[in-house]
Amino acid sequence: MSNGLKKRIVKEIKVDLDKCIGCRACEMACSGFHAVPKFSSTNPARSRIRVIIEDRKDVYVPVRAGDYAQAECNCRNSYVINGKEYSECSFCTVSCSTRDLFKDPDSGLPLKCDMCADDPTLPEPMCVQVCCCDALTYVEREEEGENEVGPRGEIEVGLESLVNRFGIDKVVDLVSQLSKTK
């Protein structure tokens, strides 16, 4: 590829806030799909998509878990859309220290949407499959762009948060210990 650009598939989940009925089926499907074995348990607190609902304000915002951040951001946004006020953090995908979303309820480790990566590949991500009213829709398109590194996996994100919490030395020690015993 002479120009250094490469075609890549961009996967996108479109969110239409007006169509969301607040049923939380997406949370159920996501947490079920990521249970081991698959669907052996459900627990919305483990879901990588959460629907932020403030029902008296007509606020319904499905948000998928993005990156982990060690600390809260220093400049939060709040939005008013069509006269409706959305609380700060409503649209934020970050697993950050200020919220209990997107953290595993047992380990506290951050959760991140992996687009339901699986073998064989799902026709559509689980959350989209169960969202019949099309509040969530799945689009794939080709884009030309820098051949960049793929999205960071769960292990990387999890490890990084452990490093942040306990320091690199402790984590390295533990990993070498584990590698001896396992």
Cβ closer to ligand SF4: 79 or 166?
Answer: 79
Binding mask 22-51 for another protein (x = CB under 8 A): xxxx--xx--x--x-xxxxxxxxxx-----
Give the C-alpha separation, 146 to 144, whole Å.
Answer: 7
Pairing of strands 136-146, 5-15: antiparallel
Cβ closer to ligand SF4: 119 or 169?
Answer: 119
Cβ closer to another protein: 5 or 133?
Answer: 133
67 in contact with ligand SF4 (CB under 6 A): no
Taking the complex as a whole, the smallest distance from the CB of residue 50 to ligand SF4 amounts, in Å, to 9
Contact in structure between 131 and 141 (CB atoms under 8 Å): no
For 163, residues 6+ apart whose C-beta sits below 8 A from its C-beta are 171
- With CA atoms as reference, report the closest residue to 62 among 54, 50, 70: 50
Task: Provide the binding-site residues for another protein, judged by CB under 8 A.
Answer: 18, 20-25, 28-29, 32, 35, 37-46, 52, 54-58, 60, 100, 105, 129-130, 132-133
